[in-house]
Structure 1
Amino acid sequence: MKRMNILVSSSRQWNPGDEFIRKGVERLLGDILGPNHNWLLWNRNPDLFVDRWSDGRMRTDFLTNSMRDPSLDVIDLVVFAGTPEWFGLPVERIYRSLLTQPRVPVLILGGGSGADMPRLAPHEVEVLDRDNVFICTRSVDLVEWINAQLSTPKAVALPCPAFYSVGEPRGWPDRQRVGVIVQSSGTPNQNVGEELVQSLISALRAAEGKIDLDIVSLYIDEHMRFSRLDLEHPCVYSYEPDHLLAQFSTYSTIISTRLHGAIAGLSAGVPSILLAEEANFRLRSTQKPFGNLLPILSVQEAFRVAAERSLEEARQRSIEILSFKKNAYEDLRNRLRSFLADAL
């Protein structure tokens, strides 16, 4: 039997959140389609753009192990795996190729946006209006904006696919241990404000000898900065997303400045708390579908909750999270199974 070729638009070795989203997408589609298909990558790492932040078109002369051309003549399914880059210059060549290959179904899973809602280009609208396109986003605001631009509304708001990045969680930890996922202020497009960073550093210093915790970095610049602070807490880092997902499962609570670090923590059944700057629309809009399962707290309040939460309280919270995850997963899987049965 012929193996399906699935082209997935994501990034490698850039934004770990993209990798968690892709892991969730792979689990979902593997559950529906089985294991016998090929994953081909459209790599949106900005190092592969013509000019990182000023020209987001994809170069065609790179030598990484990903697609330089959409090559939709051999592609059976196109998947845009989350993040705000499901439209625009980094993926324009995919849309242009889809105009010539109307038979190819398209999944947009976990589409996001910044504070400014996207104005879709004519070629994007033409593709997205097709019957063989499925759209779910992680923001109610974005759903309304997309549907207003399509002739037939089809976008729905569902939890981000990073929520499905971990399969069956490992056994519950036998002691309280907190994972604090940190960021820095100096890395373009990966940063948070220095005021938040300093508040976080102060809380980490104050927690020495009081809270058993790890400092977890998802990006190398963060790991280097926090490793040089001479804090008593261990610093944890890996370039490999599977290592990080396994690490999340060892904690009884996660505190995170990174949205998808917290969502991946929830996927492992770990109660997670977000630290968010007031103006961070992307983070706050994506948090909404999780409600009180993913609270946004101040640094001081988050550390207080983590210190006072008993292991039994954390375990009960985990049961609620995993029940919500099971229902949300089954809902999305059923929607996709029904769509793909008609589209493929």
Structure 2
Amino acid sequence: MRINVLISTTRQWNPGDEFIMLGCINILKQIYGDVINPIIFNRSPDIRGGSKLRNKTQRMNYTYEWDKKTFKGKGILQDVLRIGHYDNSYKDDMNAENIDIAIFAGSPEWYGRRLLPMYRMIEQADIPTLFLGIGAGDSTAFEKANPVVNRVLQKAKLITTRDLVTEELLEQYHAKYLPCPALLAAQSNRLVEKVEKIGLIYATDRTLKGNNVSGDLHKYLLKLYPEIIKRYDVSLICHYIDEIDQAKKEFPNTDICYSYDARDYTDIYNQFDLVLGGRVHGIGMAASLGIPGIMIKHDSRSSTTDGFLATNIEIGTSVEKVINLIEMFVRVKPVEKSHQLIEHKIKVMQQYITLICNNV
């Protein structure tokens, strides 16, 4: 009998969320085999609201009226309230009793207004629920969360957090620290024996909130990346479509990798032997493939990459120091770090399997 699994994620919004989802699916396949029906609760702002519309006409509906007297038609713009959605994700009027397991995974967005329908559905249908590698907990915001969040957490079968701050925040629910499931996103990995090509993860402060980074990080990349590009064979990696125009302008002669499909990033990252940048789950996808990462720490989410065994640097670290760090990987060779990642991935997968099997 197949198992219907509802996973909170975003689709065509932030590929990092989809890397996390792929990791969760791989965990469940290890436990249940190929009988998983993944169903997504798409919390994307485009689907569930919460972001400012780029084009104000998206708030309007165009109708066409035919005048029988003059035999002429005219178009009329009307303001409308958008309710519901048509994308291939869970609808709030579906039969919740057909869901066997619900999962909140890997993201700091594991509660809030857009997720309330999922929490209410879980409570109403009494669905076994897992919180896997959730993180970046904000104690102030969490205290203001809807009471249904507390009730679902109390009945959850398992809660793991991707950082120690969230583990402490959810101590009363017996949460346990375990790396983000993005570490398990790739189904295979390889031993990196030498650094020949480097992936530089691009990011900017000029994209939409939720997919942007701080101005300080972007300025640092503009200072750091040209010096790396001069010395090594590199490509830029964009996670978000709105980054491409600016990346092409700022780095006009540099190869840029991007795909609309999050699954393609397994192949994108697999062409590199070392990855550097400030995107948490870019470092995670690389780690899942056995590729060492250098994380530029810039906000509270950055501690997640500790679970990916990343080497951390801060914004403002001198270019010379970063080049020396890269040279260490080039000269000493990354075999030891890559082997450590592969063993770590095996261990974390087994920890997830054991915990889920013991609690569900």
1:302 maps to 2:319? no
Matching residue of 2:240: 219
Task: State the secondary structure of the residue aligned to 1:296.
Answer: strand
In the alignment, the residues of structure 1 paired with residue 37 and residue 285 of structure 2 have an alpha-carbon distance, to the nearest angstrom, of 24
Unaligned 5+ runs, structure 1: none
Task: State the secondary structure of the residue aligned to 2:250.
Answer: coil
Structure-to-structure mapping, 1:46-65, within 5 angstroms: 46-52=45-51, 60-65=83-88
In the alignment, the residues of structure 1 paired with residue 189 and residue 274 of structure 2 have an alpha-carbon distance, to the nearest angstrom, of 14
Whether the aligned pair in 2 keeps the contact of 1:276 and 1:283 (CA below 8 Å) is yes
Q: 1:208 to 1:231 in 2, by over 3 A?
A: farther
Whether the aligned pair in 1 keeps the contact of 2:203 and 2:279 (CA below 8 Å) is yes
Give the greater-gyration-radius structure (CA). Answer: 2
The structure 2 residue matched to 1:144, chosen from 168, 189, 199, is: 168
Aligned length: 325
Instruction: Give the aligned CA root-mean-square deviation in angstroms.
Output: 2.2
Matching residue of 2:36: 37
The structure 1 residue matched to 2:115, chosen from 84, 91, 109, is: 91
Matching residue of 1:13: 12
In the alignment, the residues of structure 2 paired with residue 194 and residue 293 of structure 1 have an alpha-carbon distance, to the nearest angstrom, of 23
In the alignment, the residues of structure 1 paired with residue 168 and residue 239 of structure 2 have an alpha-carbon distance, to the nearest angstrom, of 32
Matching residue of 2:68: none
Unaligned 5+ runs, structure 2: 54-81
The letter of the residue matching 1:263 is G
Q: Alpha-carbon deviation of 1:98? A: 2.2
Task: State the secondary structure of the residue aligned to 1:26.
Answer: helix
Q: Alpha-carbon deviation of 1:141? A: 1.5
Structure-to-structure mapping, 1:239-258, within 5 angstroms: 239-258=260-279
1:178 maps to 2:198? yes
CA deviation map 1:180-220 (0-9, x unaligned): 01101111222222232122123222234411111111111
Whether the aligned pair in 1 keeps the contact of 2:195 and 2:329 (CA below 8 Å) is no
In the alignment, the residues of structure 2 paired with residue 275 and residue 115 of structure 1 have an alpha-carbon distance, to the nearest angstrom, of 22
Matching residue of 1:192: 213
Matching residue of 1:107: 130
Whether the aligned pair in 2 keeps the contact of 1:200 and 1:299 (CA below 8 Å) is no
In the alignment, the residues of structure 1 paired with residue 219 and residue 27 of structure 2 have an alpha-carbon distance, to the nearest angstrom, of 39
The letter of the residue matching 2:112 is G
The structure 2 residue matched to 1:129, chosen from 154, 161, 171, is: 154
CA deviation map 1:144-173 (0-9, x unaligned): 21223xxxx321111000010112214647
Q: Alpha-carbon deviation of 1:3? A: 1.7
TM-score calculated relative to the size of structure 1: 0.87
Matching residue of 2:335: 315
TM-score calculated relative to the size of structure 2: 0.83
Matching residue of 1:282: 301
Q: Alpha-carbon deviation of 1:302? A: 3.2
Task: State the secondary structure of the residue aligned to 1:275.
Answer: strand
- Identity rate, percent: 26
Moved more, 293-302 or 157-166: 293-302
Q: Alpha-carbon deviation of 1:235? A: 0.9
In the alignment, the residues of structure 2 paired with residue 115 and residue 275 of structure 1 have an alpha-carbon distance, to the nearest angstrom, of 22
